[in-house]
Amino acid sequence: MSTQVFTAVAADEGQMIAARSVGLGTLIKALIILGSSVFAANSNAVVCPLSQDIDVTLASNARWEMCWETRAEEGVVLSDGYFTDADGGRRKVFKSLSVSQINVVFDDASAPLNLVTGAGLGADNFRTMTAQDCPDGTRLGGVLCQRIEARGYAYKSYSQQKQGSSVVLSSASTPGASTYIVRWSFGDDGSVAPAIGLSGDLPRVATGASPYGWPVNSNGAVGVGFTNNYFWRMDFDLGTDDADDAVEELEIVPSADRRRKSKTLTLLGTETARAVNADLKRSWRILDTQITNADGRAISYHLEPMHDAHRSRAGGGVLATDVQFTRYKACERFSSVNTAASCGDDVTQFVNGESTNAADVVMWYSVSYHHLPRVEDSNGVPVHWDGFVVVPRDWTSLNPLALLPGSPLRSEYRREFAGVHSIAVTQFAGDAS
């Protein structure tokens, strides 16, 4: 084992340069590197054009800052989101988050609905948030509820543990018979969990012996089955530059005898549409091509698909795949029935071969839920949630929430963001970890 000392120099404010040296059969691991420059403008407050800002510090000292606005179509749109981890490191995560379509398809082949671009989630279709809608929370603009919610264990090992929490933003819209509760949960671990809750009344009720639904009362009424296809638009802007992100696909490939599973990483260099593959555990991450953590690994956000949803990929079109990655264009707002004349009609036309390597990348993700009505729906549909989560991957070199008081790792992690310029690098012969 030998030790070498390298010097890292920041090329610009907001950019971190990892010092690495790789030899045959060795791995060089940077234990401490320049970190304060990663979080450029830590002291800069998020400035929201309409003074509609959200700034919440959670019990762990993690913090989320962002802006919000309302639109007639998407309802609540969140923008310019920054996450500060529990030990003080602050970076930008996203430029814009929104619901980009809710498509309702009925089992009896009745005309489908496109609620976002049709009736819309905003304007008169917002439900006013009352004190009962937002217990122990803060009501913003009459339509948005901001609450802090416990999320259970953030970390647990033997006798050591830490409880986690999230800031949760909720709005409710009734663009027809059904009510949709749009929820965004921002965890103190940096996770972002979008979800939509279905409630209100059944959107379609038939009479007679219909094979397309379920009896919902004693008078012969049949609630027609339907599928809600939920679509989200997530414009990630990791770090300080909105045009230096890329997309990687991760797969876990089993061997022929299925006793071993190997990781594969594929750079998706151009706009593309991809489908979930459960056998290959396929997933995706948005990574920054410039900023790395203290281990020299690119910071990223990782989509973990199929957390809480059905999957309906019949009929082609926007439902042919699960996720699409495109290069940012302002006119590409809606996953289907896109209203801008200068852009394509839907996300399948947005995917047209442009480069997504070192670009401003937008992720479009969808999940589905088939609802077969039941008699309990007859006087109010019990809320059913569907959603997913994106989590930080290599955002830091350690888990800030596990840096408990007295941990020897705490001082090491703090040095990662303390502007240290001389970096001790230890070379372990044959280390492949």
Query: Model confidence over 10-47: pLDDT tens digits?
Result: 333 333 333 333 333 333 333 333 333 334 344 467 89
Show the tokens assigned to 288: 């920054």
Longest dimension (CA), the chain: 83
pTM of the model: 0.84
Full set of structural domains in the chain with CATH: 1-35+418-433 (no CATH), 36-417 (2.70.98.20)
E-strand ranges in 158-277 read 160-173, 178-187, 192-200, 205-207, 213-215, 221-224, 226-236, 245-254, 261-267, 272-274
Can you read off the two tokens belonging to residue 196?
A: 């939509």
Question: C-alpha distances in angstroms, 189 versus 56, 232, 388?
Answer: 14, 21, 15
pLDDT at 313: 62
The tokens 């830490």 sit on which residue? Answer: 162
Say what the pLDDT of residue 46 is: 87
Residue 123 is predicted with a pLDDT of 98
Burial track 334-352 (b if 16+ CB lie within 10 A, e otherwise): bbbebeeeebbebbbebbe
Of 14-28, 259-273, 321-335, give the lowest mean pLDDT range. Answer: 14-28
Least confident of 12-21, 49-58, 349-358: 12-21
